[in-house]
Structure formats: C-alpha cells, structure tokens
Amino acid sequence: MKAINHIKLEFPSIAGNVRLARVTVAAFASELDYDVSVLEEIKVAVSEAVTNAIVHGYQKDPQGIVTLTASLYDSNLEIVVEDRGKGIDNLDQALEPGEGTDPERMGLGFVFMRTFMDELEVTSEPDLGTKVIMRKKLPSEVKAKWFNEN
Amino acid sequence: MNLEIKKMGDTLLVKIFGDFDLELADHCRREIDRNYEKEAVKNILFDLTGISFIDSSGLGVILGRYRKVKENEGNVVIASGDSRIIKLLNLSGITRLIPVYPNTAQALKYLAGKVM
C-alpha cells in the first residue's frame, strides 16, 4: 500500500539524535490531530526504538547509521527504525519485560513501545541489524481531511 | 546546564532539567555517583519538576542509583507533579520502590520522617 505522506531520516548513532528523532516524528504526527497525550507517548516509543539502535545495535559507535521513516497510511501512522548493527541474539527473550542487556534500562524500551503503540513488530538478524516497526491508529477525524486533500 | 547537585544534610539533591533521555543519562549517572561518594551522603532526592521528557534511559539512571543507595542503607525519593512523567514512573514499576511527592518540600519531609 502506498503511503499518503512520509518522511525519512538518516543520522549517525549518537545520543543527541534521540531527541532529534522523536521531535521530528512528533512534528510529523502533530499534523494528524492526535491528542497531546498520544503525541507524548509516540515520542517515548520513538525514543526507545532509537535508543535501542544506538545503545544495543551500534554499541554507541557513531559510525553506525540509524534510519527512521514515518509514514501516513489510510488507517495508521507507521514508524520504522532500522539499524545495521549487531542484532539481537535472542529476540523472544529481549521482548520479554525485564530483559535487556543494559541492567539499568530494565528492558523497559520494548515495554513502552508495546504499551504506547497499537502494533509492534521486531525483526533482527545477528550482525545484520534490527528493524522495529510500530503502528498507531489514526484519530478518526483525521482520515476525512487527508483523503479529501489527496 | 541540565543538572544541579547540592548537598543538604544527609541527602544529595539532584535536580534535572529538560529531556532526561540517553544524552543526559550518561552525564547524570557519572556526576551523581561522583557526588554521592564525595559528599558521603546517604539519601538521594531526584527533583524531576524541571524535566519535560523522560524515557527508559532516564528511568534507568534513577533505578541504578536506587540500588546503590539501598546498599548504603539510604533512601531515595522523587519530586514530580507532571502526570505524563508520573505515568512513566508507574509503568516502569519505579513507584513500587520509590515514593513520589509533588514537590521537593514534601519529598524532604518524607526523608526527614525516615530519619526520626
């Protein structure tokens, strides 16, 4: 299915870009009439996916490139965060609450992504990278607006 | 400047400003640990009233410090009145370990009560 609108962002794996990523997606999503509280939750989900790419995918190596796309489809906003880093060895275990290789982050990243988005898909290959796809249903009133204009 | 650290009696007052995410987390972790040892205090009060965003990186700093303080038989308390921040504190399970008060005055009162 073709996206009605989309943005694509590529940036090096540095901590300061976590903020850039979530603020950019929030700006894109704010066109879609989500409640402010929902926008805040989308920001957290993006932050978690990008932080995972930087911290786990690339082990904070600034040579690594994170790719982020946000796409508007007819019934949802889809956000994809991709790295070509070291991948997740045991994906099922990583997706369990309380897991995660950094004990201080408590494996909370995936918990927040799953809690705040309607759908979460994660694919990962050791040494090839990780791809996180998150979807959020559109507020019902936004559909008419975008379909009339496009 | 996104971090202010002060000693007050037996407590380290840690005030964080802005977005408490990965970028700030490493700096905060280092500075809080350094000051906690240098000042030889027992407790930490995290003043989150100046932050506009928190994610698992920031929450991880708080939880990691909680573990250290508990090893030292101290107490940790959080000041935050922002419902968005409190929601994340709840979801992370931190509120089951660390009490949250709407402002620093009440948080300090809680710590004072713990001493008596």
Q: Which CATH class is domain B3-115?
A: alpha beta
Query: In this structure, what DSSP letter does residue B54 have?
Result: E
pLDDT band at B36 (very low <50, low <70, confident <90, very high): very high
Tens-digit pLDDT profile for residues B50-105: 999 999 999 999 999 999 999 999 999 999 999 999 999 999 999 999 999 999 99
Q: Which two tokens stand for residue B43?
A: 């407790």
Please give the model's pTM, rounded to 2 decimal places.
Answer: 0.93
Among residues 56-95 of chain B, which lie with CB inside 8 Å of chain A?
A: 56-57, 59-61, 63-64, 84, 88, 91-93
Q: Is A13 helix (H, G, I), strand (E, B) or coil?
A: coil
**Considering only CB atoms, which residues of chain A are within 8 Å of chain B?**
15-16, 18-19, 22, 37, 40, 43-44, 47-48, 51, 54-55, 102-106, 108-109, 111-112, 115
Q: β-strands B43-54, B11-20: how paired?
A: parallel
Q: A17, A22, A41, A48: which is the annotated catalytic residue?
A: A48
Which residue of chain B has the CA closest to A97? Answer: B92
Which residue of chain A has the CA closest to B19? Answer: A19
Task: Please state, in angstroms and rounded to a whole number, the distance separating the CA atoms of residues B7 and B11.
Answer: 6
Q: Do A102 and B63 touch (CB under 8 A)?
A: no
Instruction: Annotate chain B with DSSP letters as a single string.
Output: --EEEEEETTEEEEEEEEEESHHHHHHHHHHHHHHHHHTT-SEEEEEEEEEEEE-HHHHHHHHHHHHHHHHTT--EEEE---HHHHHHHHHHTGGGTS-EESSHHHHHHHHHHHH-
Q: Which two tokens stand for residue A60?
A: 């904070």
A110: nearest Cα among A61, A54, A66, A44: A44
Tens-digit pLDDT profile for residues A81-97: 999 999 988 888 888 76
